[in-house]
Structure 1
Amino acid sequence: MSGYDWAVLFATIALIICYGIYKSKGIKNIDGYLLGNRSLPWYNVGLSVMATQASAITFLSAPGLAYSSGMSFVQFYFGLPLAMIVLCITFVPIFHRLRVFTAYEFLEKRFDIKTRALTAILFLIQRGISTGITIFAPSIILSTILHIDVTYTTLFIGSLVVLYTVYGGTKAVSYTQVLQMSIIFGGLLVAGIMVVHLLPQEVGLVEALHIAGKSGKTNAIDLTFDLDNQYTLWTGLIGGFFLQLSYFGTDQSQVGRYLTSSSIRDSRQGLLMNGLLKVPMQFAILLIGVLVFAYYQYNTPPIFFNQQEVAKLKTSSHHHELQKLEKQHTAVYQEKQAVLDELVHAVKTDDDAAIARTRGRLQETDRKSQEVRQQVIDLMKKNDSNAETNDNNYVFLSFVTSTFPKGLIGLLVAIIFLASMGATSSAINSLASTTIVDIYKRFVNKNDSDRGYLNASRVITFIWGIFTILIALYASQLGNLLEAVNILGSLFYGTILGIFIVAFYVKRVGGMAVFWAAVITEAIIVIIWNMDIVAFLWLNLIGCALVVIIGLILQQFVSNNKDKRFPIQS
């Protein structure tokens, strides 16, 4: 990056940190630290909810996923608007009426302390690990740009986020997220315009999408009902609905965002704002990845986007084999560019016969390029059995740093940093609030002062920050980071959602039954995932359904007078 890029990057990060610290002055108690005194407006809630979900993984991995496998991932979010409606009707008014700090406080009122503790622990496990992954994502950027070990960049990014989260708590998180999302929206618009601008003069947006479509990259909707297919309309609407309902309704990183609002109405407006904007935003990010694919049909892409792995090969005993493969790679793309010229001409003249003919030739060149790529990957494995052979996370980064003008590179890199900071700070804050409220305050120190709990909250925030940084140091072996985070969530969210569904709607099931139903369900979910029986999104529906069904069965063997009951209506 140039000096201009570094100036833009560091100025943007400094602005965010200073703004967060400034807006969080005067915190005097745990309510202010964990929930911002429940005083934030609806638009702040909406942008904070979006920023928490849209981590750096979204902006790094999603374009790479679209580049390699098309736009089908957008279906993952189709259940989101439905989930927002259900949350606004049920979860939000109950949480506000009870004046809880965390979602899990409600479970003790409805069931018992062990169910509350189990659910909180399940959340802490999955959120602690997934937050480490979100820290690792921007660390890749600095590592690639500066050509230094990713360990050092991970420590730098993690420390930066922990700094202002420990100091400012929820207010620092929420106010910085509003500014972060404003910059992110502007940067995405600029990125989309730039990708189209960089295409050949005779190739417009329509032609670029046509080229991508002929290569199977614009497959946004898949109507097939296939339990093994991770991204179809049905997995998105059904499995995605249950995942999003659990994430936004029971994950403290999100519940903590809309509990900061001053009223039920503001919480609802913030969630509905997220439901309306999230799918178009994700579609736009994936579309950028598809346009990057179209760009690289006319410009020879790197033989492998993770240049650090390529550099290892160049300095190994296999460098002569790599040189031969690079020549083959260049020749294939020269052939492809000639075919594409014919395809664009056929599209402009509406010559269907020529379109069909060139499409077949285009698919043949795609096959050749994939064969060359696979040989490079095999060579990497031969040279280093621990080599990172999935380069999806590097596609967009490589494109930006090699094509965008000075200053704009710094802005796009800053966007990825901001996304990571927003999601990571929310997660660390939620980990701390759950630990303090559901574990420390309930089991360890029940009678401390407000100042004591505030100090303990800052200490716990710092400890979770260190934990997530340690997880980030081991995240490089997880493949596509976006999928890794969602798979991890699917292992836990179904069970957690099932507990809340029973709490809200199945009044005859008590604490003992739902506790063991959750334990049994979680074991079954892990077994199903380990045996790879169904696509991971279905685990959310299966987990939720099993908790309800097993809970109803177990309740038949539990004496009713031993279970606490909690009236939902009041």
Structure 2
Amino acid sequence: MELFDWIVLIGTLTFIVGYGYWKTQGSKSVEDYILGGKKAQWWTIGLSVMATQASAITFLSTPGQAFHDGMGFVQFYFGQPFAMVFICLIFIPIYHKLKVYTAYEFLENRFDLKTRSLASILFLIQRGLGAGITIYAPAIILSAVLGWDLKTLNIMIGIMVIIYTVSGGTNAVSVTQKQQMFVIMVGMFSAFFLVMSYLPSDINFSKALKIAGANDKLNILDFSFDTKSRYTFWSGITGGFFLALAYFGTDQSQVQRYLSGRSVRESQLGLIFNGLLKVPMQFFILLVGVMVFVFYQYQHSPLNFNPAAEAAIENSAFQEDYEALEEKHRQLEVKKKIAQEHYSAVLDVKDYEMIVSAKNRIQAINQAERANREEAKALISKADPTVETNDKDYVFIHFILNNIPTGLIGLLLAVIFSAAMSSTASELNALGTITTMDLYKRNQKKEHDQLHYLKASRWFTLLWGIIAILFASFASLIDNLIQLVNIIGSIFYGNVLGIFLIAFFIPYIRKNAVFFAGVVTQVVVIGIYYFAIHIYDTGDEKLGYLWLNFIGCALVILISLLFETLGRSGKALKS
């Protein structure tokens, strides 16, 4: 990085943190701190909701996901627009009518304190883990690529977020997220146009798409009913719908964004705005990754994009074997470039048989390259089993640092930091709110004034910030980071969503039945994850993790109905 990159990076981050701190000081009540005085307009809500979901993991992992596996990941978001409509019609009017600070206050009104506490604790567990990951994800990748100290990065990101989140609460989160989303989108559009400009002069956007398609990177829709496949149209519409419904309807980090709206209409418009733009935004980010793939069809790429993985093989007993694989990789790259140029030429000729033959040649070379990369990963694992060989999260940052001009490197690194800060700020804000309002305040025997709970909210937000930094310092990289976050959410969200749906639509079910059903369901879902999904590390995945959202939701409803029926039958027999 050059001096100008450092100026851009530090200047952007200092402005966001300083502006957020300066603009939102002086909250005088809990409502000001937690709900921002209920003054937010719909575009602020929409951008804040989007920024909360779009963490640094999105901008690091998603392009790498597309580079390796193509555009199919976009199916994950297909259920989200439908979930937004459902939440606008059912959840938002009820929350505003009850004038709640948190989503889980509604559960106490409908059931009892223990059900509210159960849902709150499940939220604190999964979102506490998520807050650590949103700090850790960019930190570990920047540490590996730039050589910066990992723990220092964790602390630096955490402290920047804590400064303005503790000071200004929800208002600070919303204000800073508007600047962060601007930086993020400018950075991603810059990356897209730059990668297009780096392609050979005869490769326009249309040809680039055809090259990507020849390499199976544009297979967007998968209508198969294979439950082992992580991303299909059906898992996106069902599992993705339930995940989005739970995340936006019951996760306080999102609920708090639209509870700050000045009216029901403003909150609804904000969510619809997010629902309409989210799929196109994710599609665009995946497209950036696909264009990076096309770029590396003509340019040299490392055998493994993770610098730590390649460093592990140096001076090891497997170095010579790895160098042989690198030589084979270079030879394949030469063949691949020639094959891609031939394919581009026959596209102009428009001879169907020639196009099919050229396409088959490309696919054969890419298959050989993938096999060669897998052999390299196996050698790296033998040299150092602790090193992460899955390099999806390193593809985009490698492209940035090695191909982007001075100044824009600083901007794109600011994108990564901004995204990390935006999502982490929302999570810390929500964690502090839930701890204060659902656990601390609700279990106080003596009522305190507004100032007391305002101070408590700040202290609990600070505490969760410290916990997130500590968790980030001891976390470990698992597969692809964006999938890890969604897996954690899928384990808990379905259960909580089911409890809310019971509260809304099944008055027959009472407090004890739903509480014990919630406990049983969570144990069962964790068991399903461990025995059917966690073993994906061995390559024998039995079930795509998105289905956990549907399973958890359905289970808690069915078990609640069973417990309630048995309970009423028992009482009837006694009488």
The verdict on a shared fold, with TM-score over 0.5 as the criterion, is: yes
SS of 1:229 mapped into structure 2: coil
Name the residue aligned to 1:220: 220
Aligned to 1:543: 552
Q: CA deviation at 1:224?
A: 1.2
Q: Which moved more, 1:506-515 or 1:132-141?
A: 132-141
Deviations for 1:267-293, whole angstroms, at most 9, x for unmatched residues?
000000000000000000000000100
* Amino acid paired to 2:52: T
Distance in 2, matches of 1:52 and 1:476, equals 23
- Determine the C-alpha separation between the residues in 1 that align with 2:22 and 2:445: 31
Corresponding position of 2:16: 16
What's the offset of the Cα at 1:316? Answer: 3.0
- Which moves more between the two structures, 438-447 or 53-62? 438-447
**Contact 1:74–1:279 (CA under 8 A) maintained in structure 2:** yes
2:229 maps to what in 1? Answer: 229
Q: Which runs of 5+ in 2 are unaligned?
A: 533-541
The aligned residue for residue 301 of structure 2 is 301
2:320 is matched with 320
Q: Report if aligned partners of 1:42, 1:267 keep a CA contact under 8 Å in 2.
A: yes
Superposed counterparts of 1:189-338, under 5 Å: 189-338=189-338
Q: Which moved more, 1:269-278 or 1:165-174?
A: 165-174
Moved more, 145-154 or 124-133: 145-154
Larger mean CA deviation between 360-369 and 489-498 belongs to 360-369
The residue correspondences of 1:118-129 to structure 2 (distance < 5 A) are: 118-129=118-129
Deviation at 1:111, TM superposition (A): 0.2
Q: SS in structure 2 opposite 1:298?
A: coil
Report the CA distance between 1:139 and its aligned residue. Answer: 0.7
In structure 1, distance between residues paired with 2:29 and 2:558:
42
Q: Does 2:404 align with 1:404?
A: yes
Offset at 1:487? 0.7
* Identity fraction in percent: 47
Q: Distance in 1 between matches of 2:155 and 2:350?
A: 55
Which residue number corresponds to residue 349 of structure 2?
Answer: 349
C-alpha distance in 2, partners of 1:561/1:35? 45
* Aligned residues of 1:512 and 1:558 also touching (Cα < 8 A): no
| Residues matched between the structures, number | 562
- Structure 1 residue 342: Cα displacement: 0.7
Q: Is the 8 A contact 2:243 2:490 kept in 1?
A: yes
CA shift at 1:495, angstroms?
0.2
Task: For 2:328 and 2:483, locate their aligned partners in 1 and report how far apart those are by CA, in whole Å.
Answer: 31
Amino acid at match of 2:397: L
The answer to whether 1:552 aligns with 2:561 is: yes
Could you tell me which amino acid in structure 2 is paired with residue 496 of structure 1? V
Equivalent position SS for 2:103: coil
Judge conservation of contact 2:183–2:414 (CA < 8 Å) in 1: no
- Residue deviations 1:114-156, cap 9 Å, x none? 0000000011100000111111122134313431332221222
| 1:56-455 alignment, distance < 5 Å | 56-444=56-444, 446-455=446-455
With over 3 angstroms needed to count, the CA separation of the structure-2 counterparts of 1:496 and 1:443, relative to structure 1, is same
Partners of 1:388 and 1:476 within 8 A in 2: no
Please give the per-residue CA displacement for 1:524-558, whole angstroms capped at 9, x wherever unaligned.
11121112142111111111111111111111233
Counterpart of 1:2, as a letter, is E
- 2:535 corresponds in structure 1 to none
Q: Give the letter for the 2:395 counterpart.
A: V
Residues 84/498 of structure 1: CA separation in 2 closer, same or farther (3 Å cut): same
- Deviating 4+ runs (over 6 angstroms): none
Q: Does 491-500 or 462-471 show the bigger shift? A: 462-471
Q: Report the counterpart of residue 45 of structure 1 in structure 2.
A: 45
Give 5+ residue unaligned stretches, structure 1.
563-570
- SS of the residue aligned with 2:447? coil
Secondary structure at the aligned position of 2:296 is classed as: helix
Letter in 2 for 1:247: Y
Q: Deviations over 1:355-375 (max 9, x none)?
A: 111222212211221222122
Q: How far apart are residue 17 of structure 1 and its match? A: 0.6
Query: Greater shift after overlay, 359-368 or 118-127?
Result: 359-368
How much does 1:560 deviate?
11
Q: CA deviation at 1:561?
A: 13
Give 1:324 shift.
2.1
Q: CA deviation at 1:444?
A: 3.9
Between the aligned partners of 1:451 and 1:96, the Cα distance in structure 2 is 23
Contact map agreement 1:195 1:295 (CA 8 A) in 2: yes
Q: CA deviation at 1:78?
A: 0.5
Shift of 1:169: 1.0
Distance 2:488 2:334 in 1: 41
- Name the aligned partner's letter for residue 524 of structure 1: V
Distance 2:92 2:12 in 1: 34
**Residue 567 (structure 1) aligns with:** none
Q: Secondary structure at the match of 1:240?
A: helix
The more displaced of 531-540 and 391-400 is 531-540
User: 2: distance between equivalents of 1:328 and 1:59?
Assistant: 31
Q: CA deviation at 1:26?
A: 1.8
Output the amino acid matched with 1:550.
Answer: I
Instruction: Report SS of the residue matched to 1:297.
Output: coil
1:304 is paired with a residue whose SS is coil
Deviates more, 1:149-158 or 1:343-352: 149-158
The one-character-per-residue Cα deviations of 1:2-47 (angstroms, maximum 9, x if unpaired) are 1111111111101111111122122112111111111111111110
Q: Distance in 2 between matches of 1:113 and 1:561?
A: 24
Deviation at 1:445, TM superposition (A): 5.9
Give me the TM-score of the superposition, normalised by structure 1.
Answer: 0.96
SS of equivalent residue, structure 1 residue 508: coil
Superposed CA offset, 1:445-485 (max 9, x none): 64122111111111111111111112212333312000000
What's the TM-score, normalizing by structure 2? Answer: 0.95
Structure 1 distance, partners of 2:169, 2:317, is: 52
Q: Say if 1:138 and 1:157, in contact at 8 Å, map to a contact too.
A: no
SS of residue paired to 1:302: coil
Deviates more, 1:471-480 or 1:296-305: 471-480
Partner letter of residue 551 of structure 1? S
**2:526 maps to which residue?**
526
Quote the offset at 1:321 in angstroms. 2.6
Which letter does structure 1 place at the counterpart of 2:198? Answer: L
How many Å separate the matches in 2 of 1:491 and 1:35? 28
| Matched residue type, 2:151 | T
Between the aligned partners of 2:475 and 2:352, the Cα distance in structure 1 is 47
Displacement, 1:330? Answer: 0.7
> Per-residue deviation at 1:317?
3.7
**Cα deviation, residue 203, structure 1:** 0.9
